[in-house]
Amino acid sequence: MTAPPEGVKAGHPLARFTTVRTGGAADWFAHPRDVEGLVSVLRWAGSEDLAVGVIGSGSNLLVADAGFRGLALKLGGSLATIERDGDRILCGGGARLPSAAAKTAGWGLSGLEFGVNIPGTAGGAVRMNANAYGGQLARALEWVDVATAAGVERRAPGDLGFEYRRSNLREGEVVALASFRLEPADPEAIKATLASMRDRRREAQPSGIKTFGSTFKNPGDERAEGRSAGQLLEAAGCRGLRHGGARFSEKHANFVENMGEATTADVLELMAEGRRRVHERFGVALEPEVQVLGEVRWPDGWDL
Ligand SMILES: Cc1cc2nc3c(=O)[nH]c(=O)nc-3n(C[C@H](O)[C@H](O)[C@H](O)COP(=O)(O)OP(=O)(O)OC[C@H]3O[C@@H](n4cnc5c(N)ncnc54)[C@H](O)[C@@H]3O)c2cc1C
């Protein structure tokens, strides 16, 4: 193996980079602070045939208890800044979406309000096609710079294959920079919108808990009769259901909570039980929204 670029660390714990706080260590970890540094570590990973995993805010991410056999990346420095350029804002892939929503409100620019309650990064939001209250990421997004071992390539939203909670970004493709084209508006009106969105969210979802947000995607299956994953889980008796240190939240059944000592295996067992109950009751097979980093063993009974 060739020596890793400067700053690449061996055996780095990842749990604290996720909002649910479970999982093991990455064999390799880097915290690139500019595009050159990012491409350089991607090139090294490519030359060593290492898998690459990017961690944004870890707000929809489950790390395997056995960790990740590859290079985990967390973007920093100029890859996490938010800058204004007229009616456009440039967000590093690692920039936090709620900060971008608050900053743009102050600048009197409208279009990113939906990000106020999404505790992820611009890169994670693009990868996941994040959305809330009907605000569409793709509507405001102008382009993204995607870094790979081969360099940086600019892509338009139409090239990102956006579907419900997914894009076509592949492993090793890292959103380094995202440009959003926004509309001038009254800062006070935007701030009022953000405040009301925060209030609505506080009523509907638990706060201050260790969770990765939506566990399962809302199903398109007609047997769900338009009900969300949370409504189906609740009707199937999953609200408050526990396995080890994990439970489905009392307030929102599609949120798994780490009550303190949960492992990723506990979370997977709980997910399998929730999925089994919903399938038994409604015939609907829920699919995970949460992304997994590392190899996990899905519990027996996961395949319905
Ligand atoms: C309390 C709570 C509320 C939430 N509410 C919402 C909501 O309303 N709407 C919604 O859509 N989601 C919601 N989420 C889920 C989550 O915040 C979003 O999916 C968010 O977009 C994930 O971004 P992240 O930076 O945390 O990505 P992570 O969770 O770190 O990663 C998710 C995926 O994105 C990839 N990724 C991360 N950064 C990059 C990058 N720079 N380039 C390429 N790939 C990258 C990761 O490799 C992984 O596959 C919520 C989560 C929580 C905890």
pLDDT at 135: 64
Ligand 1, atom 12, residue with closest C-alpha: 130
Q: Going along the chain, which residue ranges are E strands?
A: 9-13, 25-30, 51-55, 61-63, 68-74, 82-85, 88-92, 109-110, 131-132, 135-136, 141-148, 151-155, 174-181, 183-184, 242-243, 246-248, 256-258, 291-293
pLDDT digits (tens, 9 = 90+) for 126-149: 999 998 877 679 899 999 999 999
pLDDT in tens, 79-103: 999 999 999 999 999 999 999 999 9
Spatial separation of the C-alpha atoms in residues 67 and 65, rounded to whole Å: 5
Pocket of ligand 1 (CB under 6 A): 19, 53-61, 75, 93, 117-121, 123-125, 127-128, 130-132, 169, 174-175, 211-214, 291
Atom of ligand 1 nearest to the CA of 146: 42
Q: Estimate to the nearest angstrom the gap between the alpha carbon of 254 and the chain centroid.
A: 15
Instruction: Compute, in angstroms, the gap from residue 125 CA to the centroid of ligand 1.
Output: 5
What pLDDT is stored for residue 49 in this prediction?
Answer: 97
Comparing C-alpha atoms, which of 215, 200, 273 is closest to residue 242? 273
Query: Which portions of the chain are predicted below pLDDT 50?
Result: none
CA distance 62 to 211: 10
**pLDDT at residue 178, rounded to an integer:** 98
Quick: pLDDT tens for 168-177. Answer: 999 999 999 9
Q: What is the pLDDT of residue 230?
A: 98
- The pLDDT of residue 136 is 79
For residue 207, the model assigns a pLDDT of 87
pLDDT of residue 205: 87
What pLDDT is attached to residue 174? 98
The protein residue with its alpha carbon nearest to ligand 1, atom 1, reads 213
Active site residues: 165, 214, 289
pTM for the model: 0.97
Strand, coil or helix: what is 61? strand
Alpha carbons 220 and 218: distance in angstroms, whole number: 7
All structural domains of the chain? 9-77 (3.30.43.10), 80-203 (3.30.465.10), 222-293 (3.90.78.10)
pLDDT, averaged across the chain: 96
Beta-carbon neighbour count of residue 282 at 10 Å? Answer: 18
Please, which residues have CB within 8 angstroms of residue 193's CB and are 6 or more apart in sequence? 113
Q: Ligand 1, residues 128, 129, 160: which to mutate, most atoms within 8 A of Cβ?
A: 128
Place of tokens 């690449």: 8
The whole-number pLDDT of residue 146 equals 98
